[in-house]
């Protein structure tokens, strides 16, 4: 336990100071402060020494240099049990500072709200992080507070321990303090990388804030949590059971597709992070029904994302099936009422969720793979018709749609589509032929017998004719695939023999 005698307070966020100050007064704790915090403390009616008076050194450079002084840092950093340290403190007439309450210039808020580079730079706090780092290093003796949220816990401790804090408490606060300094500098570092156009710096630091701690991770013997890279995590749960790790994994997979669809249009159904039905027809009900029909068996226990405001009509259909999660861009009152009747169904409003991240990170055995995300919808400009038969404009439209869905489907991916609906999806197979078979089997199982004018997309090139043969036999009349196989010519020949429109895409959509 350490008795607190002197505190230094320098806070950018001045919330909840009053209750704290009254506690400090109760235990006769001397307060040092400066600038706006000094004024605020005075205004609230408490005694306070100004830093410049304390150090006998003027505040200079419009506040850029205030606390960077040996008397302040000596006062914080001295080891109370070290005789030399104590001799130094005595000889230099430095007092000891036992409590440091600091929060930083709001760099994060500023980068979110301003493009003014000078203003952003001015909001890089130098003195604050230094005070916090000094105090956190010397946590054996010093208590460090970096957030108004911690005030109540501090007050509780001091009351309980008669003006002291415990070692365990200080150690925990130190952890949070270094979380804060490293998070703060990660933002600054990423800002500088951005303005310098550095995509992959030598050292990459990613900071994120906790959103949810789950009951468990992907499996019950794992622990898991959700973090957000910004202050603006705007997925709202309106009803239902607590979201799990796997729910979020599927929700993100669903929203990644939904956010790529035409505005306020389309339905996506996800099972185990893979799409099992996507439709972008404009009519909401038709869109939902078509997506569901693609693979109703897989949709069972899945996640539906409606890229539109949920209507009563659609809600009535949705509530008929067992789903883990339903997502929409807002809900009509009546629709919400209907869906809320299913107590377990997790209802998510994604109206305000507008992610901007363009990098993907996957960790792997002490390492991590970073890449820019595959966020391009390829269209005619990227396609080259290589068969004698040319695709109709309707076929072209469906080919673009199907190839876009490949982007979100685990490789090898085969997507069959018709009139802006998927009608068969094969995924996750090491053999492309197997993915073709799965897609065709799904179609034959769930679509009407006489379906025609089917288009097919493959996320990467066909290594042999067998895959494309399977698709043509199943009724595909237009096919898109990236080029690159040594058998491309054979494949073109086969397309011409079977009078199929074949389109080569310049690039692929692997997703492993």
What is the nearest approach in angstroms of a second copy to the Cβ of residue 344? 15
Which is nearest to 36 in space by CA: 61, 54, 11, 16? 11
* Pair 76, 131: CB distance under 8 Å: yes
Q: Which two tokens stand for residue 141?
A: 């003796």
Distance between CA 252 and CA 228 in Å, rounded?
Answer: 12
Minimum distance from CB of 313 to a second copy (Å)?
27
User: What is the distance between the alpha carbons of residues 318 and 296, in angstroms, rounded to a whole number?
Assistant: 12
Cβ distance 455 to 478 under 8 Å? yes
DSSP 432: H
412 contacts a second copy (rule: CB under 8 A): yes
Q: Is 237 in the site for a second copy (CB under 8 A)?
A: no
Out of 155, 206, 385, 492, the residue judged to bind a second copy by CB under 8 A: 206
Q: How far is the CB of 110 from a second copy (least distance, A)?
A: 14
Minimal distance in Å, beta carbon 2 to a second copy? 16
Burial environment of residue 133 by CB neighbours within 10 A (0 to 12, 13 to 18, 19 or more) = buried
Q: Please, which residue, 204 or 312, has the CB nearer to a second copy?
A: 204
Closer by beta carbon to a second copy, 28 or else 93:
93
16 binds a second copy, rule: CB under 8 A: no
**Site membership for a second copy, residue 207 (CB under 8 A):** yes
Q: Is the distance from CB of 12 to CB of 106 less than 8 angstroms? A: yes
Output the smallest distance, CB 174 to a second copy, in A: 6
Name which position in 357, 384, 473, 489 contacts a second copy (CB under 8 A).
Answer: 357
List 12, 16, 164, 228, residue binding a second copy (CB under 8 A)? 228
Residue 83 sits in the site that holds a second copy (CB under 8 A): no
* Least distance (Å) between residue 7 CB and a second copy: 19
Alpha helices in 325-392 (DSSP H): 333-340
Instruction: State which residue, 101 or 336, has the beta carbon closest to a second copy.
Output: 101
Residue 210 as a binder of a second copy (CB under 8 A): the answer is: yes
- Restricting to residues 443-502, name those near a second copy by CB under 8 A: none
> What number of CA atoms fall less than 13 Å from residue 249's CA on the CB side?
13
Roughly how many angstroms between the first and final C-alpha of the chain, as a whole number? 54
Q: Which is nearer to a second copy, 148 or 217 (CB)?
A: 217
192 lines the binding site for a second copy (CB under 8 A): yes
Helix 127-137 with 167-196: angle, nearest 10 deg: 140
Residue 449 CB coordination number (10 Å)? 5
Residue (65 or 309) nearer to a second copy, CB: 65
How many Å apart are CA 451 and CA 167, to the nearest integer?
73
Shortest Cβ distance from residue 9 to a second copy (Å)? 19
DSSP-derived pairing of the beta strands 383-385 and 501-505 = antiparallel
Residue 1 binds a second copy (CB under 8 A)? no
Identify residues 40-79 at the interface with a second copy (CB under 8 A): 57-58, 60-62, 64-65, 68-70, 72-74, 77-79
Q: Tokens standing for 150?
A: 């911690």
Footprint on residues 86-115 left by a second copy (CB under 8 A): 88-89, 92
Given 264, 344, 392, 431, the residue binding a second copy (CB under 8 A)? 431
Classify residue 185 as left (phi > 0), alpha (psi -120 to 50) or beta. alpha
Q: Does 242 bind a second copy (CB under 8 A)?
A: no
Stretch that binds a second copy, among 2-10, 157-165, 304-312, 504-512 (CB under 8 A): 504-512
Q: Return the range that interacts with a second copy (CB under 8 A); candidates 310-318, 365-373, 383-391, 467-475.
A: 365-373
509 binds a second copy, rule: CB under 8 A? yes
Nearer to a second copy, 213 or 449 (CB): 213
- Kindly identify the residues of this chain, within the stretch 302-331, that bind a second copy according to CB under 8 A: 302
Task: Count residues binding a second copy (CB under 8 A).
Answer: 136
Does 410 bind a second copy (CB under 8 A)? Our answer is yes
Q: State which residue, 240 or 426, has the beta carbon closest to a second copy.
A: 426
Nearer to a second copy, 289 or 485 (CB): 485
For strand 367-372 and strand 164-165, is the pairing parallel, antiparallel, or unpaired?
A: unpaired
Question: Any contact of residue 230 with a second copy (CB under 8 A)?
Answer: yes
Among positions 247-266, residues that touch a second copy (CB under 8 A) are 248-250, 252, 255-256, 259
Tokens of 485: 């196989």
Structural contact between residues 135 and 4, judged by C-beta atoms closer than 8 angstroms? no
Nearer to a second copy, 423 or 495 (CB): 423
Q: In this structure, are strands 164-165 and 323-328 parallel, antiparallel, or unpaired?
A: unpaired
Interface pick for a second copy out of 166, 289, 429, 485 (rule CB under 8 A) = 429
Catalytic residue list? 137, 272
CB 478 within 8 A of CB 503: yes
Answer yes or no: are the C-beta atoms of 280 and 320 closer than 8 Å: no
Shortest spacing between CB 266 and a second copy, in angstroms: 17
The whole-angstrom separation of Cα 423 and Cα 145 is 57
**Running DSSP on this structure, what letter comes out for residue 300?**
T
* Minimum distance of a second copy from residue 416's CB (angstroms): 16
Edge to edge, the sheet with strand 49-50 lists 49-50, 30-33, 6-11, 99-103, 143-145
Structure token pair of residue 400: 């673009």
């Amino acid at each position: 336990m350490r008795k607190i005698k002197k505190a230094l307070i320098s806070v950018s966020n001045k919330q909840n100071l009053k209750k704290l100050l009254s506690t400090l007064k109760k235990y006769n704790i001397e307060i040092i402060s400066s600038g706006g915090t000094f004024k605020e403390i005075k205004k609230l009616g408490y005694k306070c020494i100004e830093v410049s008076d304390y150090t006998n050194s003027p505040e200079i450079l419009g506040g850029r240099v205030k606390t960077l002084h040996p008397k302040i840092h000596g006062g914080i950093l001295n080891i109370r049990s070290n005789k030399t340290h104590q001799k130094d403190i005595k000889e230099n007439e430095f007092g000891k500072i036992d409590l440091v309450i600091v929060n930083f210039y709001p760099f994060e808020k500023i980068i979110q709200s301003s493009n003014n580079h000078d203003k952003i730079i001015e909001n890089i706090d130098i003195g604050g992080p230094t005070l916090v780092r000094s105090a956190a290093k010397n946590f054996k003796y010093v208590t460090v507070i970096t957030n108004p949220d911690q005030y109540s816990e501090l007050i509780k401790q001091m009351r309980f321990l008669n003006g002291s804090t415990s070692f365990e408490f200080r150690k925990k606060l130190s952890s949070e303090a270094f979380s804060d300094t490293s998070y703060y500098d990660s933002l600054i570092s990423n800002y500088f990388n951005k303005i310098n156009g550095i995509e992959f710096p030598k050292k990459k630091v990613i900071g994120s804030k906790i959103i949810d701690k789950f009951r468990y991770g992907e499996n019950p013997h794992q622990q898991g949590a959700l973090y957000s890279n910004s202050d603006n995590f705007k997925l709202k749960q309106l009803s239902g059971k607590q979201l799990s790790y796997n729910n979020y994994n599927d929700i993100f997979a669903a929203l990644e597709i939904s956010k790529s669809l035409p505005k306020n249009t389309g339905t996506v159904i996800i099972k185990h992070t893979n799409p099992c039905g996507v439709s972008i027809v404009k009519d909401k009900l038709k869109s939902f029904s078509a997506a569901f029909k693609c693979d109703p068996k897989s949709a069972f226990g899945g996640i539906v994302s409606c890229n539109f405001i949920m209507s009563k009509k659609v809600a009535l259909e949705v509530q008929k099936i067992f789903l883990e999660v339903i997502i929409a861009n807002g809900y009509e009152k009546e629709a919400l009422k209907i869906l809320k009747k299913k107590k377990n169904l997790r209802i998510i409003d994604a109206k305000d969720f507008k992610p901007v991240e363009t990098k993907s990170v996957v960790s792997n055995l002490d390492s991590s793979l970073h890449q820019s995300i595959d966020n391009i919808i390829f269209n005619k400009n990227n396609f080259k018709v290589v068969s004698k038969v040319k695709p109709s404009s309707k076929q072209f439209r469906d080919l673009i749609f199907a190839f876009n869905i490949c982007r979100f489907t685990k490789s090898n991916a085969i997507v069959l589509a018709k009139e802006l609906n998927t009608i068969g999806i094969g995924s996750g197979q090491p053999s492309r032929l197997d993915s073709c078979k799965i897609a065709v089997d799904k179609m034959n199982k769930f679509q009407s017998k006489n379906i025609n004018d089917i288009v097919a997309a493959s996320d990467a090139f066909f290594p042999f004719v067998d895959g494309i043969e399977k698709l043509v036999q199943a009724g595909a009349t237009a096919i898109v695939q990236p080029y690159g196989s040594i058998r491309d010519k054979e494949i073109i020949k086969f397309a011409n023999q079977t009078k199929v429109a074949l389109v080569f895409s310049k690039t692929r959509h692997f997703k492993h």
